[in-house]
Amino acid sequence: MKKEDLILKWLDDDLTPEELRELEAMEGFDTYRKIIESGKYFHNPKKVDPKKGLEALGDRMRPAPRVISFKERIRYVAGIAATIAVLITGYLFYQQQSQVNFSADLAEQSSITLPDNSQVTLNAQSEIMFNEKGWSKKRSLKLKGEAWFKVEKGSAFKVNTKSGWVQVLGTQFNVYNRKGIFKVSCYEGAVKVGVGSEEYTLRPGQELLLVEGTLTERRIGDKHPSWIDGRSAFESIPLAQVFQEIERQYDIRVEYRKKLSSPLFTGVFPHDNLDQALRSVCQPFGLQFKISVDGKNVKISAVEK
Contact 227, 271 (CB under 8 A): yes
Closest CA to 192 of 215, 218, 165: 165
Give the pLDDT of residue 228: 96
Give the pLDDT of residue 73: 57
Q: Is the pLDDT of residue 205 over 60?
A: yes
The number of residues in the chain equals 305
- Using a 10 angstrom Cβ sphere, with 0-12 exposed, 13-18 middle and 19 or more buried, the burial of residue 250 is buried
Give the pLDDT of residue 43: 46
Q: Is the pLDDT of residue 87 over 70?
A: no
pLDDT top residue among 163 and 15: 163
- Using a 10 angstrom Cβ sphere, with 0-12 exposed, 13-18 middle and 19 or more buried, the burial of residue 271 is buried
Start-end of CATH 3.55.50.30 domains in the chain: 231-302
Q: Looking at residues 62-74, what average pLDDT do you find?
A: 56
Q: Looking at residues 72-82, what average pLDDT do you find?
A: 61
Give the pLDDT of residue 303: 83
Q: Give the Cα separation of 210 and 216 in Å (integer).
A: 6
Q: Is the pLDDT of residue 287 over 60?
A: yes
Model confidence at 35, pLDDT cuts 50, 70, 90, reads: low
Q: Looking at residues 138-166, what average pLDDT do you find?
A: 97
Q: Is the pLDDT of residue 147 over 70?
A: yes
Q: Chain-centre distance of CA 293, in angstroms?
A: 40
Checking DSSP bridges between strand 165-168 and strand 110-113, what pairing results, if any? unpaired
pLDDT top residue among 82 and 14: 14
Q: Give the Cα separation of 205 and 222 in Å (integer).
A: 8
Model confidence at 46, pLDDT cuts 50, 70, 90, reads: very low
Q: Looking at residues 80-103, what average pLDDT do you find?
A: 65
Contact 46, 72 (CB under 8 A): yes
Domain 231-302 grouped into CATH 3.90.70.10: no
Q: Is the pLDDT of residue 293 over 80?
A: yes
Alpha helices in 25-143 (DSSP H): 29-39, 50-57, 70-98
Give the pLDDT of residue 20: 72
Mean confidence (pLDDT) of the chain: 83
Give the pLDDT of residue 68: 59
Span 106-219 CATH architecture: Sandwich (2.60)
Element (H, E) at 205: none
Residue 73 backbone dihedrals phi, psi, to 5 degrees: -65, -45
Highest-confidence segment of 20-24, 25-29, 134-138: 134-138
Q: Is the pLDDT of residue 95 over 80?
A: no
Start-end of CATH 2.60.120.1440 domains in the chain: 106-219
Q: Is the pLDDT of residue 93 over 60?
A: no
Model confidence at 96, pLDDT cuts 50, 70, 90, reads: low
Model confidence at 42, pLDDT cuts 50, 70, 90, reads: very low
Give the pLDDT of residue 163: 96
Model pTM score: 0.68
